Amino acid sequence: MSWLRLIEESIDEKSKPDDSHAPPKKRGWNRIGHLIGEMWPAYLIEILVIILGISITLALEEWREGRKEAKLEKVYLANLSADIDADLQMLKATQNATKQILQKGDDLLHFIRDPKQHPLPLSSINSDVRAILGRPKFVTQDATFSDLKSSGNLALLKDIPLKNLLFSYYNLTQVIKEDQDAEQQATITLSGPFFLKQFSLVENASPVESAEPEKLSGSAEFQNNVLLRTSNRNELLDLYQAADSMATALHMRLAKE
């Protein structure tokens, strides 16, 4: 029996109104009115205690949920930082490999434009062609960001500029993937078949004798394929550098979180 019920019964016994001659219905209303008049402070306290108990329970639940979300946010931020760090390393390696390809492509273009001023022996042409057919590839580590989106946990990241930068960066990596796929297709269908007929792609192999330097420098097909390879790689290098800049900004912002 609650304390409130005990008080009600005590008051009922001590100060029951003398309404023995009143009708039963009136006696009931008299008793209720008497109890309300005597017990309203206790009823008010009871209501306040219930409200306070509910409020404390809700506050504790919100606090526990907040702590849980804060811990999960830290995990996501740490994993994002690790992903971006891995991307930065791969971007640097891919940029360096692409620059080497472009250097070889520039050597061939100089030879094509002016073979007398920039002569190249057949062995060097063969080596340079093998080099420009290289396709260093950047593959982003986006597992954490993908999980954030698929799980609906993006709301855990409170830093709005950080979220915007993440979306911009991973949109750019998608553009890079599409451009790399397009370059691969162009190499397979356009440049590859021509170079395979004219040059040996085995390292340190003897050049194909029919690929004479004088004829190659004046060959429109040779010129176009070399230009195609270098222009594709130049476009990708620009994208790699843009991604590198954005990833560096992301890495610095994540380090502050």
pLDDT of residue 135: 92
| One domain, residues 105 and 217 | yes
Per-residue confidence of the chain (257 residues) as pLDDT tens digits? Answer: 454 454 455 545 544 454 454 445 445 555 555 555 665 566 667 778 788 778 777 766 776 776 777 889 999 999 999 999 999 999 999 999 999 999 999 999 999 999 889 998 888 888 899 999 999 999 999 999 999 999 989 988 989 999 999 999 999 999 999 999 999 999 999 998 888 888 877 766 655 555 677 788 888 999 999 999 999 999 999 999 999 999 999 999 998 87
Q: Quick check: 250 and 166 in contact, CB under 8 A?
A: yes
| One domain, residues 51 and 161 | no
CB-neighbour burial class of residue 83 (10 A; exposed 0-12, middle 13-18, buried 19+) = buried
Q: Identify whether 64 is part of a domain.
A: no
| One domain, residues 120 and 46 | no
SS3 percent helix, strand, coil of the chain, rounded to 5, is 80, 0, 20
Query: How many distinct structural domains can be found in the chain?
Result: 2
Q: Identify whether 42 is part of a domain.
A: yes
Q: Identify whether 68 is part of a domain.
A: no
pLDDT of residue 223: 92
Q: Quick check: 182 and 135 in contact, CB under 8 A?
A: no
| One domain, residues 118 and 165 | yes
- Which residue among 17, 33, 59 closes a domain? 59
Q: Quick check: 131 and 158 in contact, CB under 8 A?
A: no
| One domain, residues 143 and 54 | no
pLDDT of residue 177: 97
| One domain, residues 45 and 132 | no
Q: Identify whether 15 is part of a domain.
A: yes
| One domain, residues 180 and 238 | yes
Range of the domain at 226: 73-256
State how far the Cα of 239 lies from the Cα of 254, in Å rounded to an integer.
Answer: 22
